[in-house]
Structure 1
Amino acid sequence: MNKIIYYTLILLFVATGTSFSNVSLPSVFADHMVLQQNAEVKLWGWGNPMEEITVTTSWDSVEVKTKADRHANWQVLLKTPLAGGPYSITIKGYNQVTLNDVLIGEVWLCSGQSNMEWTPSAGITNGEEAIKNANFPEIRFFNVVKNSADSPQLDLKGEWQVCTPNTMQYSSAVAYFFGKKLHENLDVPIGLVNSSWGGTPAETWIPQNVINADQTLKKASQKLKAETWCPSEPGRTYNAMIAPLVGFKLAGIIWYQGETNTANPDTYQHTFTALIRSWRDNWTQQLPFYYAQIAPYEYGSPESGVKVREAQRRTLVVPNTGMVMTSDICTTDDIHPRNKLDVGLRFANIALKNHYHTVQGIVEGPLLDSVSFKGKKAYVYFKHAEGLYLKNKDHLFEVAGVDKVFYAAKGTLKKSMFIVTSDRVSEPKYVRYAWGNTSISNIFNKANLPASSFTTETSE
């Protein structure tokens, strides 16, 4: 009888321990992670209903208490100090979880399709040298494993990794060069959360409820063709690869995508704007959102690539955005330009000027500011136009009258303005520049950054 009682008690103890050892965290909260500095960050997870959870951090030793709700969810808000570490975080309920080697610094989400996903090991300019020198223990990668879902998920697969040659070569090259520049300039730890998937259209990165509530987005998503290498259904990658991250405190977002949307370029500005706003709404932050303009390439249908570039240029009307130019660091026969260093540096320079205010000067290429017409002449003015110059004598301007039939035109540079004329158009009403899938800009500013292609045809 005593043996029966003894084994019964053991079984009860094991069962009780198993049922109560239930405190757990999403994968993004783990050893080696980076949390946003000098902020109120949310930490969340799961436990038994009404289980008391105590969170203690080594940077202040303050105990923060909460209880799991009836759905087994809990969350706390933690105040982070200025950049530093390593620290530890202890989460204690019926069981205990300790997170070690936690750094406090700047955290950026890096997303998009293949040009963001592209790793040094896949082949980049001067890749071997970059890999060899990638020893930065205060840069950390969190690479989200590719997945898709038809509803928003609570967790995803991924792990935090310290930047070494081995981990860097399998992480986003653009994100690495961006983070390295920030780390060197700001002298703080950098966390890079990379959630990208080659070939994906923007629509699959937008919450499906946003698409369902917008007829333009719904029609655009219905035109997407199924692909063999990635999802194309609305919301699928958002549900699996972004939704579980919502609430994780960020400094901002960098984005490199658009090539796939050349299949239906006319609605890309509307789609891309909806993506930016939906992410900001869900994070309840007006996060900086910086993106790369797709490079000149023969995308298939005439004007499809340049139309996406134009949509990206026009998306700059959304506040707190910035655009990286790529036309001068690409070859028109490769949809994956191998110069990822300059893309990353240009992202970093925009962030350092616009968000961190640590650099001055021009960090963006010339952008159309305004156009006026007088007689046979169009007067074209640019933003970011200090030191404007022509790299070659190619005439990439075109003008059109009210009939919107465009003819090649000559552009004469006068300080920061071009006077554009064509013998074939006596009274111009529209002007465009570098308007072609493979057209490469020849207008540069003092920072040696190229101008964006543009058209005024649809600006009315």
Structure 2
Amino acid sequence: MLLSFAAGASELSLPSVIGDSMVLQREQAVPIWGWTSPGQKVVVEFAGQKRMATADKSGRWEVRLKSLKASAEPRELVIEAGARRVLTNILVGEVWFCSGQSNMEKPIGEMGGQKPCVNWREELSAAEFPQIRFFKAARVASNLPAPNVGGDWSVCSSNSLEATKFSAAAYFFGRELHRELKIPIGLIESSWGGTRIEPWTPLSALEKVPSLARYAEGGRKGEKVDGQIPCRLYNGMVAPIMPFAIRGALWYQGESNCMDSHDGLAYTEKMRVMIEAWRAAWGQGAFPFYYVQLAPFAYFGTRPERVPSPEMLPEIWEAQTLALNIKNTGMIVTTDLAHNLKDIHPINKQDIGKRLALVALAKTYGRKDVEYAGPWFQRSEIRGDKVVLHFNHTDGGLVSKDGQPLNWFTIAGADGKFEKANAVIEGKAVVVSNTAVKAPKAVRFAWREDAQPNFFNKAGLPAAPFRTDSPVAKKLPTDF
């Protein structure tokens, strides 16, 4: 569906994302745009600024407010274009765009048979944060980029969170940022359960990559590829938000790409194409893009006809790790957050939001005192019948979270048969061995879909799954 958006001679129309109670991004130019009659003069006033534009032949106009300082003072934004619009209760702070499939979409309370989040009643009752605002985009699939998408800004409260079914992961991220930065936070959610990555990617980007040609063809023809039509959610739910000024984006998706198409490392390229396309279209440079590595789930255990191996999920984990080579990205690990291996939706969204916020605080907001990652594999060396694994993000030390011997390490010799390994922490390293493997060649950690390892740092963050025998071992980042 293509949404048309035009205004008559005396009308003034704005996109839904520009409205009462919104948060404007601080410290960068802020686009304000809309539609009126062609040639109409437009004046926008906010926070002592006065900006002017003239509507083009289609009636669209745009001004850019100069950099604004953070402000929790509710102010008015006035637009004059023949007609007059006054937007009220506007704050200035940090704005994040939050997208993905059902784990991003999942609210704090109950929805569609999904279990609510941990302590959901208490969380909702305590969710009174007038300086946190959120916008939830309507579900819209469009054949062409749409000028607008339904939605309204809401002031964060227990009632508004429950009524809108706003993303729990996004809310907990925003809450943590608000507590730490002590400024207004704006969250824009654009998510749709069960969706693959290709529908969130613009056609122009898919067309440039030969390996993604079949998805580009599906997008052009409006035909399903791997069960879904590419490009349509970008058109309907991402493009209409642009060029609203944001600090960065959060992404929580990949489950649907683990199933059916068995993407494996191909998912890295799909992430790169989508991220670079979003950045180019937004026109804000390489803004931060932080994402969630999927939690353990019994894909093979529950859907063997769709996922033929318990290593399909680890291959997606590796692809998500490899995507950290994309400029200004970050990833959180969630191997400890699956409450039930037969439930694809972790109910502890509090820690997911907090961990995303830790990455943002450290990498975007320059907080040197914040540890944002668990033990991160750097390199391995073979010492006789042992393999020594070296890690960073070890400040405070490496630990077994439950005090038991480290688990989910396996080791193999030249025959490639991986056996359960003994793993012992020695300073910033882990020494891995098995008496039956006299000449080890490779080690794997958490390399099964049901792996819930106990290897953490003292900051309470888990290590990411890895394998030393990866076909892309030399390309995997040793930090981010």
Give the TM-score of the pair, scaled to structure 2: 0.87
How many Å separate the matches in 2 of 1:359 and 1:197?
35
Deviation string, structure 1 residues 312-359 (Cα, Å, up to 9, x no partner):
122122222221121112222211111111111111121112111246
Tell me the secondary structure at the aligned position of residue 171 of structure 2. helix
Equivalent position of 2:38 in the other structure: 49
How many Å separate the matches in 2 of 1:424 and 1:202?
43
Shifted more, 259-268 versus 127-136: the winner is 259-268
The answer to whether the 8 Å contact 1:135/1:164 transfers is yes
How many Å separate the matches in 2 of 1:382 and 1:274?
30
2:254 is aligned with 1:242: no
How many Å separate the matches in 2 of 1:423 and 1:272?
41
How many Å separate the matches in 1 of 2:24 and 2:168?
22
The answer to whether the 8 Å contact 1:362/1:446 transfers is no
Equivalent position of 2:146 in the other structure: 153
Equivalent position of 2:362 in the other structure: 353
**Deviation, structure 1 residue 192:** 0.5
**Deviation, structure 1 residue 186:** 1.1
Structure 2: which 5+ residue stretches go unaligned? 1-6, 111-115, 219-223, 301-306, 475-480
2:368 is aligned with 1:367: no
Equivalent position of 1:443 in the other structure: 455
The answer to whether the 8 Å contact 2:148/2:240 transfers is yes
Shifted more, 394-403 versus 341-350: the winner is 394-403
Shifted more, 162-171 versus 395-404: the winner is 395-404
2:126 is aligned with 1:140: no
Equivalent position of 1:65 in the other structure: 52
Structure of larger gyration radius: 1
RMSD after superposition: 1.8
How many Å separate the matches in 2 of 1:304 and 1:233?
23
Tell me the secondary structure at the aligned position of residue 265 of structure 1. coil
Tell me the secondary structure at the aligned position of residue 316 of structure 1. helix
Deviation string, structure 1 residues 190-242 (Cα, Å, up to 9, x no partner):
1000111111111111112211221222357879432xxxxx21111111000
Q: How does 1:301-380 map to 2 (within 5 A)?
A: 301=307, 302=309, 303-331=311-339, 332-358=341-367, 360-380=369-389
Tell me the secondary structure at the aligned position of residue 240 of structure 1. helix
How many Å separate the matches in 1 of 2:351 and 2:212?
33
Q: Once the two structures are aligned, what percentage of the paired residues are identical?
A: 38
* Equivalent residue for 1:110, pick from 73, 91, 98: 98
Change (3 A) 1:447 1:348: same
How many Å separate the matches in 1 of 2:411 and 2:54?
66
Equivalent position of 1:276 in the other structure: 275
Deviation string, structure 1 residues 90-140 (Cα, Å, up to 9, x no partner):
111121111111111110111111111111122110000111111111111
**Deviation, structure 1 residue 25:** 1.1
* Equivalent residue for 1:184, pick from 179, 190, 197: 179
**Deviation, structure 1 residue 273:** 2.1
How many Å separate the matches in 2 of 1:193 and 1:359?
27
Q: How does 1:3-82 map to 2 (within 5 A)?
A: 19-57=8-46, 59-60=47-48, 62-82=49-69
The answer to whether the 8 Å contact 1:211/1:234 transfers is no
Equivalent position of 2:418 in the other structure: 406
Equivalent position of 2:390 in the other structure: 381
How many Å separate the matches in 1 of 2:213 and 2:257?
14
The answer to whether the 8 Å contact 1:441/1:453 transfers is no
**Deviation, structure 1 residue 376:** 2.8
How many Å separate the matches in 2 of 1:39 and 1:127?
36
How many Å separate the matches in 2 of 1:44 and 1:121?
35
The answer to whether the 8 Å contact 1:268/1:311 transfers is yes
Equivalent position of 2:221 in the other structure: none
How many Å separate the matches in 1 of 2:147 and 2:413?
55
Q: How does 1:86-235 map to 2 (within 5 A)?
A: 86-122=74-110, 123-169=116-162, 170-219=165-214, 224-226=225-227, 232-235=228-231
Tell me the secondary structure at the aligned position of residue 271 of structure 1. helix
The answer to whether the 8 Å contact 1:255/1:289 transfers is yes
* Equivalent residue for 1:260, pick from 256, 259, 264: 256
Give the TM-score of the pair, scaled to structure 1: 0.90
How many Å separate the matches in 1 of 2:367 and 2:187?
20
The answer to whether the 8 Å contact 1:149/1:236 transfers is yes
How many Å separate the matches in 2 of 1:293 and 1:398?
21
**Deviation, structure 1 residue 80:** 4.0
Equivalent position of 2:286 in the other structure: 286
Deviation string, structure 1 residues 363-418 (Cα, Å, up to 9, x no partner):
21122111223443322111212210123225422233455443332222211111
**Deviation, structure 1 residue 432:** 1.1
How many Å separate the matches in 1 of 2:441 and 2:214?
32
Shifted more, 277-286 versus 340-349: the winner is 277-286
Tell me the secondary structure at the aligned position of residue 286 of structure 1. coil
**Number of equivalent positions:** 436
Deviation string, structure 1 residues 62-86 (Cα, Å, up to 9, x no partner):
3211111112211111014211121
Equivalent position of 1:297 in the other structure: 297
How many Å separate the matches in 2 of 1:394 and 1:388?
11
